[in-house]
Each structure stands twice: as C-alpha cells, then as structure tokens.
Amino acid sequence: MEQINQTWTYLVALAAAKQLMTLHSDAGGFRLAPGPYASEPLDIMSGIDGLVGAQTFAAVDPHIAGV
C-alpha cells in the first residue's frame, strides 16, 4: 500500500509543480523533493529562495486501489 501511496505523492508533486510554473513564471524554476526522506524543507521550492514553497500529499483509499 505504501508503494501506491508514494507513487501518487510523486505524481501530485509533479502536477503541482506544473501549475506553480504557470502561476509563478518568475520563480526561477522549481526543485522537487516529495517524500519523508527528501533533502529539502518543503516538497516544492522555487529556484529563488523564499519566493514559493509547497507541501504535497496523496491520500489513497486501499479499496479503490484494489489492495
């Protein structure tokens, strides 16, 4: 189950970064580090320090996931 949850967490982070690039084209790009063992303080951080930051997560229902 954790593998499914982590997969969706990564996909959510990618979708969020895509949206943030649209909304904040002046952010100098974004660094992604989703997950509990990432080296960044937040899951998504702008290339310009302190401009944009975001936490992401996915909530997976094991009944829907077929587990």
User: Which pLDDT score, from 0 to 100, does residue 57 have?
Assistant: 84
Residues 6+ apart with CB under 8 A from 57: 9, 12
pLDDT of residue 4: 72
- Kindly tell me if the per-residue pLDDT of 58 is higher than 90: no
Tens-digit pLDDT profile for residues 1-38? 677 778 888 899 999 999 999 999 999 999 998 876 66
